[in-house]
Amino acid sequence: MAFFFLKYHNVFCPQTRDLFSAGSVAGKERGGNYILRALQKIQKEMVKAAAELEDSLFVEYWKKHVPPEKRIKEWLKRADGFAQGWTPSEELFKGSGQTPPADLFKSG
């Protein structure tokens, strides 16, 4: 994350890990799955980022081109492979209007 800010936005932010760690963004709630709660709070921003970030970023980090309309699904697939004790694709972008609408990535 810190490298992304520096490379794409010329922002030097060495404390990025602290700013975005699950404990600091999960809020006052204690216990349970901090990472899940933190990600649930930023789902709308994640959908927006998937639609708007440069393709080169995804190619650089994922080593392949992923069309904007498939980036959330790809991220969930990758997150499922890393998560332990829970499955992100079963918990995120479901209900509450958080599932990306079908027309989100259409232009015009």
**28 and 78 together in one domain:** no
Residues 61 and 11 in one domain: no
Q: Quick one: 33 and 47 in the same domain?
A: no
Q: How many domains does one find in the chain? A: 2
Same domain, 64 and 87: yes
Range(s) of the domain holding residue 99: 42-108
Mean pLDDT score, 42-52: 91
Concatenating the DSSP letter of every residue in 27-87 gives: -S--SS-HHHHHHHHTHHHHHHHHHHS-HHHHHHHHSS---GGGHHHHHHHHHHHH-SSS-
Tell me: do 47 and 36 sit in the same domain: no
Q: 96 and 60 in one domain?
A: yes
* Lookup result for tokens 């999960």: 26
Mean pLDDT estimate for the chain: 77
Is residue 38 within 8 Å of residue 22, measured between CB atoms? yes
Choose the weakest-confidence range: 9-13, 30-34, 87-91, 97-101: 97-101
pLDDT digits (tens, 9 = 90+) for 54-85: 999 999 999 999 999 999 999 999 999 999 99
